A = this chain, B = another copy of it.
Amino acid sequence: MPFDYIPPLLRASEKRIVLLVLDGLGGLSIEPGGPTELEAAKTPNMDRLASEGMLGQTIPIRPGISPGSGPAHLALFGYDPIQYEIGRGVLESNGVGLHVGPGDVAARGNFCTLDANGNIVDRRAGRISSQQAAPLVERLKTISLPGLSTEVSLVKEYRFAVVLRGEGLQADIDDTDPQRTGVPPLPAVARTPESESTADLFNQWIAKAFEVLSDDEKANGLTLRGFSTDPNLPSFQSSYGLNPVCISVYPMYRGVSRLVGMKVVEFDGEQPEDEFAAAAEVWNEHDFFFIHIKKTDSKGEDGDFEGKAKIIEGVDAALPTLLALNPDVLIITGDHSTPALLKSHSWHPVPFMLWAPATVRPDDQTKFGERPCARGSLGNFTALDTIPLALAHAGRLEKFGA
């Protein structure tokens, strides 16, 4: 349980919480004294909410730690990623709807290009499209191993997920991606004696995969990483008494949401307004709405400062649709920072806004941005505190002790 002291305090409530996550929201100035991406963006709606609400900054994992997307979201959901380690294989598999049960082992796969000697010449197989990868994944699905079942699913472009289902499979296995070209993929090597037989099974699967892929020009090889099994996380429902739903375009975020027991909804479109419309569709069926916006992070990774600011402006422009639903508690934040300046995830604290008209103690900040957040009344705090704060402002927690 993320917080042992919370379940005994839970109180029934009709109040609804929205956690709107702009992936990689935190940024940096590209010139001394200049604005960050969020500060450069014109965000009249968020600025109004900031005036009425409270600001602060979250530390995603620990100070100085740049988180991956999985751990950063787990932290936002209150599950300390230092305590709850979850492999990329499980995250990706869940993201594309492949369940990973106890005893199963999942891995994330990359197609790659091998030369005549079996050395890697392109670790991402020329970044083939999803369309190009789909028939290759079909070939991988034909592979069978004695005594167990396997499932493979396309993730996106050159990425796929594979799950071996058996009894007592163990996942302490090193990645087969050598992280460079000019050398062959590594074999699956067990880190513990208990994982050796599972590593053998994966090596058999890999050998058969190389056979079925051998005549493809670009994707004639593959690497596997993030071997992992069911983390058996306590559910959001049992931890917080919430009936949560995930609204996300990208598989990874759906995966991590499923791991904590969120329902994941299907919807058309990829824009913020499409996501907010999806929230409206299920508004009466849930009381916690995790809405994930991916493109802030993508633009940050691309080093596209203005592009990231535009994405934020797009979310701001769509916000009235979400506000029309009358959430009782609205949190707008990121899972981590992805400053365009750095073109990567970073460890910088993440802007955080909590708006809850009935119970906020407003600070005197009037804009949503890194500087105002650094001066906000919530101060700097761990992302793990996000859900407990939301529960409190939703009137969902009884007093602790008499």
Contact = CB atoms under 8 A, between A and B. Distances in A.
A68 B400 contact: yes
A178 B370 CA distance: 50
A29 B63 CA distance: 31
Contacts of A378: 380
B361 A348 contact: yes
Interface stretch (A166-174, A216-224, A389-397): A389-397
B69 A388 contact: no
Interface stretch (A191-199, A268-276, A282-290, A339-347): A339-347
Given A371-B364, A392-B65, A70 B402 contact: yes
A191 to B, nearest CB: 13
Interface string A73-93: 000000001100110100100
Contacts of A389: 63-64, 347
Contacts of A72: 401
A360 B33 CA distance: 11
Nearest to A226: B402
B400 A61 contact: yes
Contact of A401 (B52, B68, B376, B388): B68
Interface string A333-374: 000000100101111110000000001111110000011001
Given A377-B374, A385-B63, A392 B29 contact: no
A299 B19 CA distance: 35
Number of copies of this chain that the complex holds: 2
Nearest to A5: B82
Nearest to A357: B32
B363 A402 contact: no
A267 interface: no
Given A5-B62, A57-B379, A67 B399 contact: yes
A63 to B, nearest CB: 4
Among A64, A375, A379, A391, max chain B CB count under 10 A is at A64
A148 interface: no
A346 to B, nearest CB: 7
A153 interface: no
Contact of A402 (B65, B68, B392): B68
A375 to B, nearest CB: 7
Nearest to A388: B64
A3 B380 contact: no
A400 B359 contact: no
Given A66-B400, A361-B348, A381 B380 contact: yes
A176 interface: no
Contacts of A360: 28
Interface in A22-78: 28-29, 32-33, 36, 52, 57, 61-72
Contact of A71 (B108, B345, B359, B400): B400
A399 B71 CA distance: 10
20 contacts: A3-B62, A5-B65, A9-B65, A28-B361, A63-B392, A64-B393, A65-B388, A65-B400, A66-B397, A66-B400, A68-B399, A68-B401, A69-B401, A70-B401, A71-B401, A81-B400, A86-B401, A345-B399, A347-B392, A361-B370
Interface of A: 3-5, 9, 28-29, 32-33, 36, 52, 57, 61-72, 81-82, 85-86, 88, 91, 108, 226, 339, 342, 344-349, 359-364, 370-371, 374-381, 385, 388-393, 397-402
Given A64-B390, A64-B393, A88-B401, 17 more contacts: A3-B62, A4-B82, A9-B65, A28-B360, A57-B377, A62-B385, A63-B392, A64-B391, A66-B400, A67-B401, A68-B400, A69-B401, A70-B401, A226-B402, A347-B392, A363-B371, A370-B377
